[in-house]
């Protein structure tokens, strides 16, 4: 959600400034471009060199930047126009008061007054300062200007007191920004359930029946849904992948039965469900308590059918938009249409092992999207991240059509 955003971070002179190194790192990790502006006193609390190294941009403090050979002007107007978001953290009582009155006696305040983007501020001060009537009046004035407060928390303060006024933690600031940006997005306020990866069906404590699914397609779908504002439950079979988006709850399972149970726990509250997992159709009828020793030339294992997760969801579907996946090797379109109808789906995503670039373990996929009216749209080979965008675009076109 922050990927590609230009973020201007203003740091003022408070002890909480040391936390901004972690904040810069989190913003960069989230894909943002970050530039840092310090007040004169902020440099006493956090190293400009550290911030420059982490942000990969020079740290600015004064209007004029001089060296032995030249004099450069730090253009506050250009900085204000560059930013998609501006964050002032920590925001001291002194700086907040100047922001509310329009005082402009340093580069940070000049940039603030020039900014055309949303401005967030994270107050940080001692308890008595935070509760003072003038501070309350400052907050009200800034709110009237359209500035957005990232509320302070309660905890141990630099004075030794315990109470309100502690700057929000970097992780909480990041979450606050992401939740702000998610408002108004196509899936904001919606719940999405996605299955991903393979299932492993145990033979004995060592061996299992499984498949080559990596989970990449399901994880990509979850990431796009979260970026569109959805609260996502990702039920994943064994996979080395991770889901770090704050709107994604990752539930790891192993067997088809475990996946069945977890999906049904969340199904009734879901608005959209995409079953992208490669679920084993069969499991051993009996799991050996001990490792099966190699003895005879042949080993026969009795298999029994697993519950059909997608069919079970289709049979109890109410208002959910339900999407399945079909991986086929022959009669692809007809088999996918049959699955679509039999399992009461709203749409099915078809990929064929006959198509180069499609299949398990790859970073690319080639799909056809088939809706319940049997309208088919076929896409070229793309990365699975791009395929996930295509799939969500098709779903959103049809959900309320």
pLDDT at position 162:
80
DSSP assignment string, 25-60:
HHHHHTT-EEEEEE-TGGGGTS-HHHHHHHHTS--B
d(CA 297, CA 301): 13
Burial of 230 (0-12, 13-18, 19+ CB in 10 A): buried
Burial of 145 (0-12, 13-18, 19+ CB in 10 A): exposed
d(CA 1, CA 17): 25
pLDDT at position 233:
98
pLDDT at position 352:
74
Q: Are 138 and 98 in contact (CB under 8 A)?
A: no
Range with lowest mean pLDDT among 110-119, 132-141, 352-361: 352-361
d(CA 397, CA 401): 7
**Is residue 142 assigned to a domain?**
yes
- Asked if residue 177 and residue 210 are part of one domain, the reply reads no
**Is residue 353 assigned to a domain?**
yes
CATH number for the domain spanning 303: value is: 3.40.50.10300
- Asked if residue 216 and residue 125 are part of one domain, the reply reads no
Last residue in a domain, options 182, 205, 235: 182
Strands 347-352, 321-328: pairing is parallel
Catalytic annotation on 75? no
**Is residue 169 assigned to a domain?**
yes
> In this model, does residue 72 exceed pLDDT 80?
no
**Is residue 156 assigned to a domain?**
yes
pTM listed for this prediction? 0.75
Higher pLDDT, 114 or 76: 114
- Asked if residue 178 and residue 205 are part of one domain, the reply reads no
- Asked if residue 108 and residue 233 are part of one domain, the reply reads no
What are the pLDDT digits (tens) for 256-284?
A: 999 999 999 999 999 999 999 999 999 99
Cα 220 from chain centroid?
11
Last residue in a domain, options 127, 154, 182: 182
**Is residue 278 assigned to a domain?**
yes
> In this model, does residue 179 exceed pLDDT 90?
no
> In this model, does residue 163 exceed pLDDT 70?
yes
- Asked if residue 283 and residue 154 are part of one domain, the reply reads no
pLDDT at position 64:
66
- Catalytic one among 211, 331, 354, 393? 211
**Binning pLDDT at 50, 70 and 90, where does residue 160 land?**
confident
Q: Which domain holds residue 39?
A: 6-182
Last residue in a domain, options 182, 204, 234: 182
- Asked if residue 154 and residue 206 are part of one domain, the reply reads no
Would you state the structure tokens that stand for residue 16, as one six-digit string? 């909480």
Q: What percent of the chain has pLDDT over 90?
A: 76
- Asked if residue 395 and residue 368 are part of one domain, the reply reads yes
What are the pLDDT digits (tens) for 355-368?
A: 776 667 678 899 99
- Asked if residue 129 and residue 48 are part of one domain, the reply reads yes
What is the number of domains present in the chain? 2
Higher pLDDT, 361 or 289: 289
Higher pLDDT, 399 or 222: 222
**Is residue 1 assigned to a domain?**
no
- Asked if residue 204 and residue 171 are part of one domain, the reply reads no
- Asked if residue 199 and residue 295 are part of one domain, the reply reads yes
**Is residue 85 assigned to a domain?**
yes
SS3 assignment, position 239: coil
pLDDT at position 69:
58
Tokens 């990596």 locate to 214
When pLDDT is averaged across residues 379-391 and rounded to a whole number, the result is 94
CATH number for the domain spanning 147: value is: 3.40.50.1950
Using left for φ > 0, alpha for ψ between -120 and 50, and beta otherwise, residue 230 falls in beta
- Asked if residue 141 and residue 49 are part of one domain, the reply reads yes
- Asked if residue 214 and residue 121 are part of one domain, the reply reads no
Please provide the average confidence, as pLDDT, over all residues in the chain.
91
Q: What percent of the chain has pLDDT over 70?
A: 95
**H helix intervals, 169-215:** 170-182
> In this model, does residue 71 exceed pLDDT 50?
no
pLDDT at position 65:
64
**Is residue 212 assigned to a domain?**
yes
Q: Are 324 and 353 in contact (CB under 8 A)?
A: no
> In this model, does residue 159 exceed pLDDT 80?
no
DSSP assignment string, 327-370:
EESSSHHHHHHHHHHHTT-SEEEEEETTSTT-STT-SEE--EEE
Please, which residues have CB within 8 angstroms of residue 353's CB and are 6 or more apart in sequence?
327, 328, 329, 359
pLDDT at position 6:
95
- Choose among 90, 73, 78: nearest CA to 39: 90
């Amino acid at each position: 959600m922050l990927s590609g955003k230009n973020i201007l971070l203003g740091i003022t002179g408070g002890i909480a400034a040391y936390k901004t190194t972690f904040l810069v790192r989190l913003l960069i990790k989230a894909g943002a471009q970050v530039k840092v502006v310090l007040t004169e006193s902020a440099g006493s609390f956090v190293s400009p060199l550290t911030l420059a190294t982490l942000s990969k941009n020079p740290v600015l403090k004064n209007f004029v930047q001089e060296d032995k050979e030249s004099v450069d002007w730090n253009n506050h107007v250009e900085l204000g126009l560059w930013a998609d978001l501006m964050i002032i953290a920590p925001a001291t009582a002194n700086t907040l008061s100047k922001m509310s009155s329009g005082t402009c006696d340093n580069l940070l305040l000049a940039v603030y007054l020039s900014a055309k983007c949303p401005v967030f501020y994270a107050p940080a001060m001692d308890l008595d300062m935070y509760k003072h009537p003038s501070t309350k009046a400052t907050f009200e004035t800034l709110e009237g200007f359209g500035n957005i407060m990232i509320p302070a928390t309660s905890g141990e303060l630099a004075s030794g007191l315990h109470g309100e006024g502690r700057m929000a933690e970097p992780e909480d600031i990041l979450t606050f920004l992401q939740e702000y940006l998610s408002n108004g997005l196509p899936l904001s306020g919606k719940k999405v359930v996605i299955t991903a990866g393979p299932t492993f069906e145990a033979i004995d404590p060592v061996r299992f029946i499984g498949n080559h699914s990596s989970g990449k397609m399901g994880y990509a779908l979850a990431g796009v849904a979260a970026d569109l504002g959805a609260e996502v439950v990702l039920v994943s079979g064994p996979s080395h992948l991770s889901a770090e988006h704050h709107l994604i709850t990752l539930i790891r399972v192993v067997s088809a039965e475990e996946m069945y149970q977890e999906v049904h726990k969340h199904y009734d509250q879901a608005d959209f469900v995409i079953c992208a997992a490669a679920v084993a159709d069969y499991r051993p009828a009996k799991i050996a308590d001990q490792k099966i020793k190699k003895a005879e030339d042949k080993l026969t294992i009795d298999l029994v059918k697993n519950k059909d997760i997608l069919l079970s969801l289709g049979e109890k579907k109410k208002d959910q938009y339900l999407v399945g996946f079909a991986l086929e090797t022959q009669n692809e379109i007809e088999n996918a249409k049959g699955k679509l109808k039999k399992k009461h789906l709203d749409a099915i995503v078809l990929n064929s092992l006959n198509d180069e670039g499609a299949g398990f373990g790859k970073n690319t996929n080639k799909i056809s999207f088939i809706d319940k009216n049997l309208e088919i749209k076929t896409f070229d080979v793309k990365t699975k991240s791009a395929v996930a965008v295509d799939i969500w675009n098709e779903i959103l076109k049809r959900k309320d059509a």
